[in-house]
Structure 1
Amino acid sequence: MQITSKELESVAAVEAPRFDMYTGIHKALRAFMADTLLAVGRMDPLDEDEVAQASGRVLDLLAACAGHLRHENDFVHAAIEARAPGASAAIGHEHEDHVKHIAQLSDLVVVLRAAAPQARAAAAARLYRELALFIAGNFEHMHVEETAHNAVLWARYTDAELVGVHDALVASIEPQEMMAIARWLVPFQNPQDRFHLLADMRAKAPAPAFQAVMDLVQPLLTTKEWSKLTGALGIAAVPGLVAG
C-alpha cells in the first residue's frame, strides 16, 4: 500500500493534537544518539578508561535502538498492518537494515577495545564515522514515522485506541530497560509534554516506580525545569517528597 499525499497533508492540517506515539520516544533517541556520537568524537583513543566508557555508551545506545525496533515491530507496525496492510513495509525493511547496522557497530566496538595502541586511533575513527552514518539514517527514518506513519494511524484509529496500543507496548518493557530510556525520555521533552508523560506515569505505574523515575531525572533537569514539573504535578519540589 502507498501512503498518499493527502494522508501526509493531514498531519499538518489536523486541528486538534492527536495522540502521538512516536515523537516523545524519538526525542529521547535523538538525544541519546547525539550525546553518544559526541562522546566517541572527543574520546582519547589512548586512554583505556575513556575508551571503555565511550564504547560502553555505544553499546548501551545500540541496545536501546534494538529494543525500540522490537517494540515498534510488535506493537506499532502490527497496528498499522491490521488496518492498512502494506503501509509499514518500507519502514519495516529499514528496521531490518538497522538490525544489521547495529551488529556491525557492535563488532566495531569489539575491534576498538582489542586494538593495539598504535591501531586505536584508526579503529576509533571508523567507529565514529559508522556511528554517524547510523544516526543520520535513523534521523531520516524517524521523520518518516512521525509524518507518514502517524498519518496512517490517525486516519484509521481513534486516540483511545492508540493509547491502548501505546500502553500495551509500555507494559511489555522490563523495568531495567524502562529506567534506561527514562534517563533520555524525560529530560528532553518540552515542559508540557514532560508533565503529561509524568502525570500519565504517576496514574498508571506503581508509586515506587514513579518515585524512582523522578529521582533519576531531577539531577538532569535545570532548577527552572524541575520547578515547572513539580508545580504542574502539584507535588513538593524537594527530593523524597514527590510521591505526595
Structure 2
Amino acid sequence: MKRYNLFYQIHKGLRTMLYETAILLQQTDFSNEEEANALADRIGEVVVLFDKHAHSEDNNVLTAIESLEPSVASLFAEEHIKDHELSKRLTALVNMLTAVTGEDEKEELGSAIRVAFTEFVVFNLQHMAKEESELNKLLWAHFSDEELHAITMQIISQVPVDLLNAYNHWMIRGLSNNEISKWLKQIKNTAPDPVFNSMMQLAEKELPRQRFSMITESLTEGAMLA
C-alpha cells in the first residue's frame, strides 16, 4: 500500500524553485542593475522559504520523532543549522552585490554567488532526498496516514498567508498535471470557494495554456462523474 508522504509535494515545489533560480543565476548579467536586482530578490525568496520550511519541520516533524529516535531527530536538526549557515552566506553575498557599484566588483560577487548557490542547491537536494528516504521510514513505522496528514495541516496553519502563496506558486510549477488535478479537487472539496478560485487563478497564471486546459477538463470530468 502506498503511504502518505508529507514531504512529497512541498519538496517538489522547493526543488523547482532551486532549478529555476539556478537557471536565472546562470543567465544573469551582473553589470545590468535590473537583472542583478531581480536575482537578488529571487535568492532572497529562496532563503526565506527554505528557512521557514526547516523551521516548520523542526517544530512539527522532528518533534514527532524526537522521543522515538532522538539521534535521528538531532541529525536532521543539525543539518537544518548547516542549511541556515549556507543561507546566511548567500544573503551576505547578495547584500554586498546590491551595495557595490563597480562593474568588476559586481562580476566578482556574481561568481561568488554562483559558487555559494551551487553549494546551497547540492546540500538541499541531498538533504531533502535523505528526509524522504530515512525520515519517512520512521514516520511510516510509527504514525498512520491520517496522523501524518494532520501534521501537514498543522504546518500549513502555522505558515503566514504571503509565504503560503509563495509555496503554492512553486508547487503549481513543479507538480504534474495529475498531481495538480488531485490537489485542486481536494481543495474544492474541503476549502471555501474563494480559496479554490484563488488556486485556479494561480494555476491559470503559472501553467501553459494546454496544461491548464487539460487540468480544467479533468476537474469537469470529475464533477460529472460525482
> Please, what TM-score do these two structures have when normalized by structure 2?
0.92
Identity percentage of aligned residues: 23
- SS of 2:105 mapped into structure 1: helix
Deviation at 1:179, TM superposition (A): 0.7
Decide whether the 8 Å contact of 2:90 with 2:116 is kept in 1: yes
Q: 1:201 aligns with which of 177, 187, 191?
A: 187
Q: 2:173 aligns with which of 182, 187, 190?
A: 187
Q: Deviations over 1:167-226 (max 9, x none)?
A: 111111111111111111123112222222222223333321221122122132233322
- SS of 1:86 mapped into structure 2: helix
- 1:76 is aligned to 61
Evaluate the alpha carbon distance shift between residue 174 and residue 207 of structure 1 in structure 2; reply closer, same or farther with a 3 A threshold.
farther
1:149 paired with 2:132, answer no
1:99 paired with 2:84, answer yes
Stretch deviating more after TM superposition (199-208 or 118-127): 199-208
Which whole-Å CA distance do the structure 2 matches of 1:89 and 1:192 have between them? 36
- SS of 2:173 mapped into structure 1: coil
- 1:112 is aligned to 97
Which whole-Å CA distance do the structure 2 matches of 1:73 and 1:203 have between them? 30
Q: Deviations over 1:116-149 (max 9, x none)?
A: 2221101011011100111001000011001111
- 2:220 is aligned to 234
Decide whether the 8 Å contact of 1:186 with 1:194 is kept in 2: yes
1:216 paired with 2:202, answer yes
- 1:166 is aligned to 152
- Give the total of aligned pairs: 221
Deviation at 1:82, TM superposition (A): 4.1
Paired residue type of 1:154:
W
Deviation at 1:77, TM superposition (A): 1.1
- 1:9 is aligned to none
Which whole-Å CA distance do the structure 2 matches of 1:85 and 1:27 have between them? 27
- 1:3 is aligned to none
Stretch deviating more after TM superposition (186-195 or 34-43): 186-195
- 1:123 is aligned to 109
Decide whether the 8 Å contact of 1:45 with 1:124 is kept in 2: yes
Decide whether the 8 Å contact of 1:187 with 1:194 is kept in 2: no
Which whole-Å CA distance do the structure 2 matches of 1:68 and 1:159 have between them? 21
Decide whether the 8 Å contact of 1:191 with 1:228 is kept in 2: yes
Decide whether the 8 Å contact of 1:27 with 1:189 is kept in 2: yes
Decide whether the 8 Å contact of 2:172 with 2:206 is kept in 1: no
- 2:123 is aligned to 137
Decide whether the 8 Å contact of 1:179 with 1:213 is kept in 2: no
Which whole-Å CA distance do the structure 1 matches of 2:159 and 2:191 have between them? 12
Paired residue type of 2:153:
D
Which whole-Å CA distance do the structure 1 matches of 2:193 and 2:158 have between them? 18
1:47 paired with 2:32, answer yes
Decide whether the 8 Å contact of 1:202 with 1:210 is kept in 2: yes
- SS of 1:19 mapped into structure 2: coil
Instruction: Show structure 2 runs of 5+ residues with no match.
Output: none
Deviation at 1:20, TM superposition (A): 0.5
Which whole-Å CA distance do the structure 2 matches of 1:198 and 1:75 have between them? 25
Which whole-Å CA distance do the structure 2 matches of 1:233 and 1:81 have between them? 40
Paired residue type of 1:99:
H
- Indicate the RMSD between aligned Cα atoms, in angstroms: 1.7
- SS of 1:187 mapped into structure 2: helix
Paired residue type of 1:64:
L
